[in-house]
Structure 1
Amino acid sequence: MNTGVNGVALAVLIFFFVVVAAAGFWASRWRRPQSMESLEEWGLGGRSFGTWVTWFLLGGDLYTAYTFVAVPAAMFSAGAVSGFFAVPYTIVLYPIIFIFMSRLWSVSHRHGYVTPADFVEGRSGSRGLSLAVAVTGFVATMPYIALQLVGIQAVLEVAGVGGGDNIVAKDAPIFIAFLVLALYTYTSGLRAPAIIAFVKDILIYIVIIVAVIYLPSKVGGWGTIFDAAKGKMETTNAATGKPTGVFTPGPGQYWAYATLALGSAMALFMYPHSITATLSAKSRNTIRKNASILPAYSFLLGLLALLGWVAIAAGTKPIGLDGKPNPQLVVPQLFEDFFPSWFAGVAFAAIAIGALVPAAIMSIAAANTFTRNIYKAWLRPNATAKQEARVSKNTSLVVKLFALLFVLLLDKSNAINFQLLGGIWIMQTFPSVVFYLYTRWFHRWALLGGWAVGMVYGTVAAYNVVNPVTKANFGGSTAEIPGLGQMGYIAITAFVLNLVVTVVLTLVMRYVVKAPEGKDATIPADYFADAGDPRVEKLDPAAPAAPPAH
């Protein structure tokens, strides 16, 4: 339990914050083009990143505060179903990257698409469907950014900064994080998190390798750790009258565990930030190489998740400065309890920077989505590439403010639900993006109808999940699957409803109503295009940006 400011740890943390901030500003000069005044440069780094830069960028983008804070906290509080599903989900994820994302990169490279909604409009000829995909991506990113800010707040609170009853002091760390993010993303765009990701990943690997070698020996070994975790999970929770959590999933948890893993894998690369990091690669083959080497992060994730159970064996007390239990503090508190202050500071910096990198990419991706698919598509069609870049920069600031609202207004005791809530929404864009990479059989209006049904069901079902302790709505991401009587991830149930409605409406639109189809701006060869394609033209920042063809 933290009883005051840890001066040494805080000083180390501030040092690394200064280093990454300086790196973020310097990034605007890294591989600097003639002009940064276009989404191509500011928002996608000129589509110039090679295998290693892309690997660090994608690692920094995909392995977030969700990985470093929320997953171990879920393991500590509720066990395997709530936390360890993240390991198989990342393993399922990489074939998705290898197969789907290389096709999306090719067609986006060929047509200059910056967002998934750009592609959907070009493929379907439907501005309405494109708007639905864009709005979903924008909204779903907000709770994900909020989760990063919760991670930063957690390490600062354990270091003795923030928290307490004073509302200004309590949320001060979040506002500090907002300012840091705002400054370097505004000036450097995607180049900033690409540079900072190198620092983040090096720190994370050092900290985790040291932790998994050193900590088990201090608490009696892995046998003791697993026994302690099993004992806690089987203990009855006084508030609910049920076991505290799940040590290993039993028959009653199979569907929850499996659907959480599958749904999270399907959802992750539908997020604008995941696609932004993918489209920044310089070639189609760069994406495939990264799909092959990114599993190294899954090993790291498994070790991180187990730290939640190490904390149980260690008797870690994650108590905030307000005197209340807060599971999100468990990993920072574990490091402060067992390591010298200077190394605890390194660990705090690794976690905080691990939140800053994805938060920067997320805010850039959400801003690009708003600019391309809402501002330009609906408000100012004749905007130049330079005007697009300026609007996107300003929007990236607004995005962070929206994320702050999630942090300030929603229950933070189970922060993993921030990511899972976004997953429920973004999952409903899967048919429009992935199916369109291979076929246009699904009618554009049917896809829009399926999306609407999935969004409404998913949101209502998630709202109706009440935290048994705090009694707050949006208290979880699993609910009973209609017809099966088993608990499952709401995103998968909503997706199935989405798909059924889409298929039925497609049959009606095609064969009964014979509704008109939009124009497809792509050709089969576009899905195999690679770097050096002579049909690709760079945009002049001073000229009007060409809208997605439709």
Structure 2
Amino acid sequence: MNGVVVGVFVFLFLLVTVLGFAAARWRRAESLDSLDEWGLGGRGFGTFVAWFLIGGDIYTAYTFIAVPATLYAGSVVGFFAVPYTIVIYPLIFLFLPRLWSVSHKHGYVTPADFVQGRYDSKGLGLAVAVTGLLATMPYIALQLVGMQVVLEVMGLGTGSDNWFVQDLPLFLAFAVLAAYTYSSGLRAPALIAFVKDTLIYIVILVAVFYLPSQVGGWSHIFSAAQDSFNAFNTDNADAVAAGTVPGKGTIPPGAAQWAYASLALGSALALFMYPHSITGVLSTRSRSVIRRNAALLPAYSFLLGLLALLGFVAIAAGVKVDNPQQSVPQLFENEFPAWFAGVAFAAIVIGALVPAAIMSIAAANLWTRNVYKAFINPAATPKQEATQSKVVSLLVKFGALVFVLALSDQFAINLQLLGGVWILQTFPAIVVGLYTRWLHRWAVLAGWAVGMAYGTWLAYGVPLPTDPSSHFGGPLVLFPGTDTKVYIALIAFLANLLVAVVLTVVLRAAGVGAGVDQTHADDYTADVGEEGVAEELDVHAPAHA
């Protein structure tokens, strides 16, 4: 361990801890004993706060670890994260303001609340809630994976054979996270996001301008990366030709281009189906805040593009690691002054705390509204709801901690790939439901079940390239009837839609009841100032029921 690195890291972590507990008094309400206040921050965040919160929610620590790691490992298909975070913003500009309006008009806290009200089906709402929980848990676990990588490079806990000592820094970090999330709710990650995003921007901009000057400039960096990949392909020519070892390169080969495009499109469609993404959106003050953020958030995509190139910088700098996820932290430790390496490591770890907090809150809200209140205690008071969410948010975080410590990192990564497959299957219920009620509720439920089962089965059949007997080895599979690989989530999504449409025609022809829609056409365009849509919950008044 380097004392300066660890000292700077600990100082910044303690600063964030203080902010997390202080957030309970920021924009203070008389009580946080309701999901509107604890789980959605009073539904009053403006453009500036929302930009930091949603950006901090989407661009996670694992993103900053994994994207450059894929380029370091020679798999430039991993660069799909950049176009998909560009494609998504025109989409959310269209449909999220409608979700905001209907949710504010009816007091919906989760996407499953909307689905239940729209289709008059607790079962369909439960399906969306369970999918959200399944997809969110491994996402939280991946934040721990990102933290582990940084702590390992720093040397914290790695000098002991005792597993408890090794993992103690991770335990402490998540215990602190759990405490201030319980205390402050969504206000904690919203306030911490200011620090996290500021540090991330500083670190990446310094890295992009400073590090190339240390290793010979960008021309040399790209040449070194290409030379490294060419040497690997030559040394493993037979295995690459046989497909047992993936080839490396700076441009996806023709066979991988549909994989690249489908990963970008499928991930874009899925991103704002995740409960934590929608939680950030529903915490905003008005429809215009969402639209402005859809225009401003691509700034993070520019940052992500610069960050991805650090994978090539690590190659040119001679970074040698067995785990590609350690490439960027190791690059920072090797090339930065010790004090700035501490800043960089703190930025990544804090970058895990913000999304992990929002994800645990979103998962807890799903449990409370769509399981506890829907099926266990329909008469639950706002205070009982808030208490349920606080307790479940703790269980979710520590469940993810145990998950990561008990199982391999690869298992968490594989489950996250499945999470993307699963969460996209809620798209017809949520997004299609925002525009039309034509799809029959039982058809939507059947389509969801087919998409979940088919997608999981396809993913199970994909082995790791290095172990033909393994399962859940990647997100790509051959499109039926072709030799072209595409993203599994899109294939399952197409099957989902096909079943939903065909069954809707059959059920409507048979006269099967479609339930009573609890929403009205005007609800989807309601804005602040209109009847039933408050401009902002009064943060000085008692929490709303």
Instruction: Describe the shift of the 1:335–1:532 C-alpha distance in structure 2 as closer, same or farther (beyond 3 A).
Output: same
Does residue 515 of structure 1 match 2:518?
no
Q: Which of 386, 394, 397 is the equivalent residue of 2:394?
A: 397
SS state at 1:84 partner: helix
Q: Which of 92, 103, 106 is the equivalent residue of 2:101?
A: 106
Task: Tell me how far apart the structure 2 counterparts of residues 432 and 231 of structure 1 sit (CA, whole Å).
Answer: 48
Letter matched to residue 482 of structure 1: P
Identity of aligned residues (%): 64
Letter matched to residue 22 of structure 1: V
Identify the range of structure 1 (423-432 vs 244-253) with the bigger mean alpha-carbon deviation.
Answer: 244-253
Q: Which of 42, 51, 54 is the equivalent residue of 1:46?
A: 42
- For residues 440-484 of structure 1, the C-alpha deviation after alignment (integer angstroms, 9 at most, x for no partner) is 111110110010111111122222222233665322111112122
Instruction: Describe the shift of the 1:297–1:403 C-alpha distance in structure 2 as closer, same or farther (beyond 3 A).
Output: same
The answer for the alignment partner of 1:382 in structure 2 is 379
- For residues 28-69 of structure 1, the C-alpha deviation after alignment (integer angstroms, 9 at most, x for no partner) is 000111111000000000001000000000110011013211
**2:245 touches 2:465 (CA, 8 Å); kept in 1?**
no
Does residue 120 of structure 1 match 2:118?
no
Question: Across the two proteins, how many residue pairs are aligned to each other?
Answer: 532
Deviation at 1:200, TM superposition (A): 0.5
Task: Tell me how far apart the structure 2 counterparts of residues 176 and 336 of structure 1 sit (CA, whole Å).
Answer: 23
- For residues 285-326 of structure 1, the C-alpha deviation after alignment (integer angstroms, 9 at most, x for no partner) is 0000000111111100001111111111111123xxxxxx22
**1:155 touches 1:329 (CA, 8 Å); kept in 2?**
yes
CA RMSD across the alignment:
2.0
Q: Which of 289, 301, 310 is the equivalent residue of 2:313?
A: 310
The answer for the alignment partner of 1:86 in structure 2 is 81
- For residues 365-389 of structure 1, the C-alpha deviation after alignment (integer angstroms, 9 at most, x for no partner) is 0000110000110111011000000
Deviation at 1:536, TM superposition (A): 4.0
After TM superposition, the structure 1 = structure 2 runs for residues 63-212 of structure 1, keeping only pairs within 5 Å, are 63-81=59-77, 83-163=78-158, 166-212=162-208
Q: What's the TM-score once normalised by structure 1's chain length?
A: 0.93
Letter matched to residue 526 of structure 1: D
Identify the range of structure 1 (307-316 vs 114-123) with the bigger mean alpha-carbon deviation.
Answer: 307-316
Q: What's the TM-score once normalised by structure 2's chain length?
A: 0.94
Instruction: Describe the shift of the 1:88–1:127 C-alpha distance in structure 2 as closer, same or farther (beyond 3 A).
Output: same
Instruction: Describe the shift of the 1:425–1:50 C-alpha distance in structure 2 as closer, same or farther (beyond 3 A).
Output: same
Task: Tell me how far apart the structure 2 counterparts of residues 379 and 201 of structure 1 sit (CA, whole Å).
Answer: 40
Letter matched to residue 319 of structure 2: T
Instruction: Describe the shift of the 1:469–1:241 C-alpha distance in structure 2 as closer, same or farther (beyond 3 A).
Output: closer
Instruction: Describe the shift of the 1:265–1:306 C-alpha distance in structure 2 as closer, same or farther (beyond 3 A).
Output: same
Q: Which of 268, 274, 277 is the equivalent residue of 1:274?
A: 277
Task: Tell me how far apart the structure 1 counterparts of residues 13 and 38 of structure 2 sit (CA, whole Å).
Answer: 22
Does residue 286 of structure 1 match 2:284?
no
Identify the range of structure 1 (456-465 vs 28-37) with the bigger mean alpha-carbon deviation.
Answer: 456-465
Task: Tell me how far apart the structure 1 counterparts of residues 63 and 223 of structure 2 sit (CA, whole Å).
Answer: 24
Deviation at 1:340, TM superposition (A): 0.9
After TM superposition, the structure 1 = structure 2 runs for residues 425-464 of structure 1, keeping only pairs within 5 Å, are 425-464=422-461
**Gaps (5+ residues) in structure 1?**
319-324, 546-550
Letter matched to residue 72 of structure 1: P
Deviation at 1:507, TM superposition (A): 1.1
**1:70 touches 1:416 (CA, 8 Å); kept in 2?**
no
SS state at 1:57 partner: helix
Does residue 496 of structure 1 match 2:494?
yes
SS state at 2:426 partner: helix
**2:36 touches 2:543 (CA, 8 Å); kept in 1?**
no
SS state at 2:372 partner: helix
After TM superposition, the structure 1 = structure 2 runs for residues 475-486 of structure 1, keeping only pairs within 5 Å, are 475-486=473-484
**1:153 touches 1:173 (CA, 8 Å); kept in 2?**
no
Q: Which runs of 4+ in 1 moved over 6 A?
A: 537-543
Instruction: Describe the shift of the 1:487–1:425 C-alpha distance in structure 2 as closer, same or farther (beyond 3 A).
Output: same
Does residue 35 of structure 1 match 2:31?
yes
Letter matched to residue 487 of structure 1: K
**1:328 touches 1:415 (CA, 8 Å); kept in 2?**
no
**2:95 touches 2:431 (CA, 8 Å); kept in 1?**
yes
Does residue 12 of structure 1 match 2:8?
yes
Does residue 367 of structure 1 match 2:364?
yes
Task: Tell me how far apart the structure 2 counterparts of residues 348 and 468 of structure 1 sit (CA, whole Å).
Answer: 31
SS state at 2:477 partner: strand
**2:37 touches 2:543 (CA, 8 Å); kept in 1?**
no
Instruction: Describe the shift of the 1:340–1:267 C-alpha distance in structure 2 as closer, same or farther (beyond 3 A).
Output: same
The answer for the alignment partner of 1:321 in structure 2 is none
